[in-house]
């Protein structure tokens, strides 16, 4: 018998699953779904269906192009085709219900289960399984499935691997540890293919995304004596490069990657809104608290926010707040 | 007792190590050393020294900036300070002796050991341990150390992880498989830190490298109906961006990453020479044979060449040869 990955939460997961027999289940993800969101939805729906529970995945936004081939024959629906009547809801990879959009959050306000790894998740379901030291929701689900000896087919293994590979930045972030590699080893044994996943994720670029990257790199500004690198995308950039907002995913990593930079930022203006993404080199920079100043949130190393405004108005406010934040970090006086 | 990784080669490795007691040993790497080269040298020297064998690493070229922090207190020497007299030589990650430069190849023409994963390695030592299905020389050495229960300290574990992480492109290439993850799990247990490694490798960019990337992306030309993407660097680019030739490492991956592109190329002109790097999405494109047309070579998916010329002269020749090569690939008529 192998040592369990998450002994107590896995037992509670099994109890929640037990309660779902004979019910219809929706597995909800978040807006602008990423690899861990889609991977977790695919994996959980497939596992439940293998256990003969009638589950479908529902997401408010379409599945991004590079993630579509991870779905296989897993049933995926959008908000227009929700099941009628009594339905049990499970949220995955959502720090709160609203992350899945207002319509779904209202329709499914009393979920049975909430599986997530975001430290900011305060719990909102009958059973909350939040493991904030896990690298990905996919890692948590893999642990639950293995601990309970639930069936994991090759598509499920690949979906769980997808979540882990993307949310660890291909094993580059702090979350990539011994447990993560142990889980990936088992997933490979069950049919996950790291190279196939990488081909889908990284070898299907559009020329427009190369132009978007060029525009982003050309916009870099260094603030706070070089400790902060800010890249910007203006409102017309998607049209001019024939790209979609989903194509700006991960660009912010380039801003963080510079030597001496503690915090990298992507700020974009779209439809009169500012969307910000923040990445720190180290947990002590607590960009989740920085994002909170702009009504956002996230992880200590990766956070984001959305608010009304334009780039030219917002930029000086942002740099002022970043500077004040770094001062607090340096002084050890962060107000948590 | 765990199942051995490489049973027969590990036993031969142990025999070779047995023969080295009371001898002085140099562990040789290759020119323009990469993560797997430096990592393998560090790991093997440390392991031998822990076994009380007097070993030092020798490399013809300096250790690149982003790899220096993986060396720790491992003794590293260049060609100017070679030990005198009788010395036993071990080549790591070198497909032939000349990869370590002519001076070292001549001085150490009768090596006791050759540990490598390049399929083109035909053997040149008293004991040749070439495992071409391994993702990295670091993976092979890790397997040898584990199979023989040799001591692996934290610096050694991190050096072996470095080799695997870089030679699999952060677990993106075909070599990233179940065995690789199993080995990485054990290395993490011995002190390897994927996030620390990634910080050294990817989070110490220079602003000039960002400009170099911009210049490279802006140069993209698509040939052969979009199946080939060629990026170019002109002779003045390094000076203008305050970068070094080693900073163009990995840029060619961007050219390959486009959807529909089978072969990505980086062609640069430097000091009246053309240097080409070729990357294919699939082994069947055999860029090693394409590189051979220009007196180069390499792997089926990754190859390179150097020849006299200028960009403007070479470009039409290159596109003509690529087109002819792809036609042969399509027809299945490649002359091997």
DSSP characters over B45-107: HHHHHHTT-EEEEE-SSPPPGGGGGG-TT--EE-GGGPPPS--EEEEES-SSGGGG-HHHHHH
Hey, is the C-beta of B157 within 8 angstroms of any chain A C-beta? Answer: no
- Helical pair B154-167 and B178-189, crossing angle rounded to 10 deg: 150
Hey, is the C-beta of B220 within 8 angstroms of any chain A C-beta? Answer: yes
Q: Where are the alpha helices (DSSP H) in A245-310?
A: 252-256, 287-292
Nearest-CA neighbor of B188 among B149, B151, B160, B225? B160
Give A-chain residues touching B213 at CB under 8 angstroms: 217
**pLDDT grade, residue A46 (50/70/90)?**
very high
Residue A4 DSSP label = P
Q: Which class does domain B7-202 fall in? A: alpha beta
Looking at residue B180, what is its pLDDT? 98
Q: How far apart are CA B302 and CA B306, in angstroms?
A: 14
Hey, is the C-beta of A174 within 8 angstroms of any chain B C-beta? Answer: yes
**Bridge pairing between strands A24-28 and A54-58:** parallel
Question: What is the torsional sign of CA A96, A99, A105, A108?
Answer: negative
- Nearest 5 degrees, angle CA A280-CA A70-CA A288? 20
Give B-chain residues touching A203 at CB under 8 angstroms: 256-257, 259, 281
DSSP H or E stretch at residue B326: helix B311-331
Inter-chain touch B173–A188, beta carbons under 8 Å: no
Q: How far apart are CA B13 and CA B131, in angstroms?
A: 12
Looking at residue A329, what is its pLDDT? 96
Looking at residue B336, what is its pLDDT? 60
Span A136-154, mean pLDDT?
A: 98
pLDDT tens sequence across A162-178: 999 999 999 999 899 99
Q: Distance from B147 to chain A by nearest Cα, in Å?
A: 19
Give A-chain residues touching B259 at CB under 8 angstroms: 203-206
Inter-chain touch B217–A220, beta carbons under 8 Å: no
Give B-chain residues touching A202 at CB under 8 angstroms: 172, 257
Does pLDDT of A1 surpass 80? Answer: no
Structure-block tokens of residue A106: 């209202």
Q: Which class does domain A207-331 fall in? A: alpha beta
Helix then strand then coil, in percent of chain B rounded to 5, is: 45, 20, 40
Q: How far apart are CA A186 and CA B177, in angstroms?
A: 10
B286: alpha, beta or left, given left = phi > 0 and alpha = psi -120 to 50? left
Q: How far apart are CA A160 and CA B278, in angstroms?
A: 32
For chain A, give every domain's residue range.
7-202, 207-331
Lowest mean pLDDT among A80-89, A248-257, B231-240: A80-89
Give A-chain residues touching B251 at CB under 8 angstroms: none
Looking at residue B147, what is its pLDDT? 98
* Residue B189: closest C-alpha in chain A: A178
Hey, is the C-beta of B258 within 8 angstroms of any chain A C-beta? Answer: yes
Looking at residue A336, what is its pLDDT? 60
Span A127-143, mean pLDDT?
A: 97
Say which of B173, B254, B258 has its CB closest to residue A195.
B173
Q: How far apart are CA B162 and CA B148, in angstroms?
A: 21
Looking at residue B1, what is its pLDDT? 53
Give A-chain residues touching B258 at CB under 8 angstroms: 204-207, 210
Structure-block tokens of residue B22: 């009371």
β-sheet with A24-28: strand ranges across: A76-77, A54-58, A24-28, A88-92, A113-116, A127-130
Span A223-232, mean pLDDT?
A: 97
Hey, is the C-beta of B173 within 8 angstroms of any chain A C-beta? Answer: yes
Looking at residue B82, what is its pLDDT? 82
- pLDDT tens for chain B, 336 residues: list them: 578 999 999 999 999 999 999 999 999 999 989 999 999 999 999 999 999 999 999 999 999 989 999 999 999 998 888 878 899 999 999 999 999 999 999 999 999 999 999 888 889 999 999 999 999 999 999 999 999 999 999 999 999 999 999 999 999 998 999 999 999 999 999 999 999 999 999 999 999 999 999 999 999 999 999 999 999 999 899 999 999 888 898 899 999 999 999 999 999 998 889 999 999 998 899 999 999 999 988 788 888 999 999 999 999 999 999 999 999 999 998 866
Is residue B298 within 8 A of residue B275, CB to CB? The reply is: no
Backbone angles phi and psi of B25, in degrees to 5: -125, 135
pLDDT tens sequence across B163-210: 999 999 999 998 999 999 999 999 999 999 999 999 999 999 999 999
Q: Distance from B81 to chain A by nearest Cα, in Å?
A: 32
For residue B204, give Cα distances in angstroms to A257, A260, B66, B199, B243.
6, 7, 7, 7, 13
Inter-chain touch A218–B220, beta carbons under 8 Å: no
Looking at residue B69, what is its pLDDT? 98
Of all residues in chain A, what percent carry a pLDDT higher than 70? 99
| Statement: the pTM of the whole predicted model exceeds 0.90 | yes
Say which of B172, B188, B214 has its CB closest to residue A178.
B188
Span A306-317, mean pLDDT?
A: 94
Span A188-197, mean pLDDT?
A: 98
Does pLDDT of A335 surpass 90? Answer: no
Chain A and chain B share a number of CB contacts under 8 A equal to 111
Q: Which of B142, B168, B178 best tests the A interface by mutation, with the highest count of A CBs <10 A?
A: B178
Hey, is the C-beta of B185 within 8 angstroms of any chain A C-beta? Answer: yes
Q: Distance from A104 to chain B by nearest Cα, in Å?
A: 34
Inter-chain touch B214–A210, beta carbons under 8 Å: no
Nearest-CA neighbor of B76 among B114, B107, B40, B22? B40
List of residues 6+ apart from B119 with CB closer than 8 A: B132, B299
Does pLDDT of A246 surpass 90? Answer: no
Hey, is the C-beta of B133 within 8 angstroms of any chain A C-beta? Answer: no
Lowest mean pLDDT among A16-25, A242-251, A252-261: A242-251
Is residue B179 within 8 A of residue A173, CB to CB? The reply is: no
List of residues 6+ apart from B167 with CB closer than 8 A: B34, B35, B36, B117, B135, B136, B137, B138, B139, B173, B175
Looking at residue A252, what is its pLDDT? 96
Strands (E) across chain B are located at: 24-28, 54-58, 76-77, 88-92, 113-116, 127-130, 221-223, 228-233, 263-270, 273-280, 297-298, 302-308
């Amino acid at each position: 018998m192998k040592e369990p990955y998450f002994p107590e939460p896995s037992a509670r997961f099994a109890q929640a699953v037990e309660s779902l027999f004979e019910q219809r289940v929706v597995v909800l993800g978040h807006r602008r779904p990423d690899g861990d969101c889609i991977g977790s939805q695919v994996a959980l729906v497939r596992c439940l269906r293998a256990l003969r529970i009638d589950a479908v995945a529902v997401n408010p936004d379409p599945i991004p192009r590079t993630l579509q081939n991870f779905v296989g024959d897993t049933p995926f629906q959008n908000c227009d085709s929700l099941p009628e009547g009594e339905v049990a809801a499970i949220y995955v990879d959502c720090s709160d219900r609203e992350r899945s959009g207002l319509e779904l959050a209202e329709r499914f306000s009393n979920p049975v289960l909430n599986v997530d790894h975001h430290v900011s998740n305060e719990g909102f379901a009958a059973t909350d399984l939040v493991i904030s030291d896990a690298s990905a929701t996919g890692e948590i689900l893999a642990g639950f499935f293995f601990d309970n000896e639930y069936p994991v087919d090759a598509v499920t293994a690949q979906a769980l691997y997808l979540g882990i590979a993307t949310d660890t930045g291909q094993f580059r972030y702090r979350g990539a540890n011994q447990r993560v590699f142990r889980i990936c080893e088992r997933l490979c044994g069950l049919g996950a293919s790291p190279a196939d996943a990488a081909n889908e994720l990284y070898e299907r670029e559009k020329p427009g995304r190369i132009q978007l990257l060029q525009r982003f790199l050309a916009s870099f500004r260094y603030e706070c004596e070089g400790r902060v690198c800010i890249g910007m995308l203006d409102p017309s950039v998607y049209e001019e490069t024939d790209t979609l907002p989903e194509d700006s995913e991960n660009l912010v990593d380039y801003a963080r990657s510079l030597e001496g930079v503690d915090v990298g930022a992507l700020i974009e203006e779209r439809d009169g809104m500012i969307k910000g993404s923040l990445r720190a080199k180290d947990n002590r920079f607590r960009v989740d608290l920085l994002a909170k100043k702009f009504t956002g949130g996230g992880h200590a190393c990766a956070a984001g926010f959305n608010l009304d405004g334009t780039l030219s108005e917002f930029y000086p406010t942002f740099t002022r707040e970043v500077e004040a934040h770094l001062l607090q970090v340096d002084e050890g006086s962060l107000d948590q």
